[in-house]
Amino acid sequence: MKAIILAAGYATRLYPLTINKPKSLLEIGGKTVLDYIVEDIENIECIDEIIIISNDKFYNNFETWSKETYCKKPIKVINDGTTSDENKLGAIGDINLVINNCNIDDDIFIVAGDNLYSFSLQTFFENYEQTKQNCILSKKIKNTNELKRMGVVQVDKENKVIGFEEKPENPKSDIAVFASYIYSKDTIPLINEYIDQGNNPDAPGYFIAWLFKRKDVYAHIIEGECYDIGTHETYNQVKAKFEMQNVMRYQQIV
């Protein structure tokens, strides 16, 4: 299995913090966001390579980070060649680029480079291992306004996806999808087919909406928290939360 970390965004909402630094390399509790993600992925034994997809603007930042960080698994950084929001490939376009560039013929574990979790991604992987079906990370959210800003999925009693909408005006369920996905090896060619058909290459949810009508997709509904670092407000909230957790761990040790 290959892990793909999506980190090709420009994070303009976090300016000036991200003018010269990618969002994934912002620090929280003494480590970068990317450090937390990679440390979590390292615990998934069957992942044999971690691939970070960057834009051209921040490619050297990620290359420097990859040489300075310690990781038991090989890390590869791919440059998607884009320079701004105006010519970006979109998340699905970037996934397709990685698949073709690296000749991937394996299951893929996709995570966003700006999301942190209060639980281990190992639990998500274990759910996939049990079903061997395409799997998306989900959580029940009661706040309707929050659901309107996310991908919202409908599932049957087995948690099989039977409906999906990206940022719906009237959400049809309370199950939101976060940017973590596991796709089986035989789904890989469909990503290229999706792009070749001229479908929207931006938000990963658009591919889910297309895919579930062709192949089975299951929602893994988690109980923990997923922190999407997209604004100054959320970044400061996550920083405060993680720094407090680190203080509490230190106090327990001493």
Cα 224 to Cα 245: distance, rounded to the nearest angstrom? 15
- Domains in the chain (CATH in brackets) are 2-137+179-253 (3.90.550.10)
Cα 161 to Cα 14: distance, rounded to the nearest angstrom? 33
pLDDT (0 to 100) of residue 171: 93
Q: Which segments in the chain show pLDDT lower than 50?
A: 247-254
Reference 216, options 167, 168, 188, 183; nearest CA is 183
pLDDT (0 to 100) of residue 131: 85
Residues 6+ apart with CB under 8 A from 194: 92, 96, 207, 210, 211
pLDDT (0 to 100) of residue 136: 96
Cα 134 to Cα 111: distance, rounded to the nearest angstrom? 14
pLDDT (0 to 100) of residue 252: 42
Reference 37, options 79, 77, 7, 67; nearest CA is 7
Reference 116, options 226, 235, 250; nearest CA is 226
Q: What is the pLDDT of residues 52-73, one digit of tens each?
A: 999 999 999 999 999 999 899 9
Q: What is the pLDDT of residues 113-157, one digit of tens each?
A: 999 988 899 999 998 998 889 999 999 999 999 999 999 999 999
What is the pTM (predicted TM-score) of this model? 0.93
pLDDT (0 to 100) of residue 226: 87
Residue position matching structure tokens 């509490």: 248
Cα dihedral sign for 81, 87, 91, 92? negative
Cα 211 to Cα 80: distance, rounded to the nearest angstrom? 24
Q: Are the C-beta atoms of 54 and 77 separated by less than 8 Å?
A: yes
pLDDT (0 to 100) of residue 43: 92
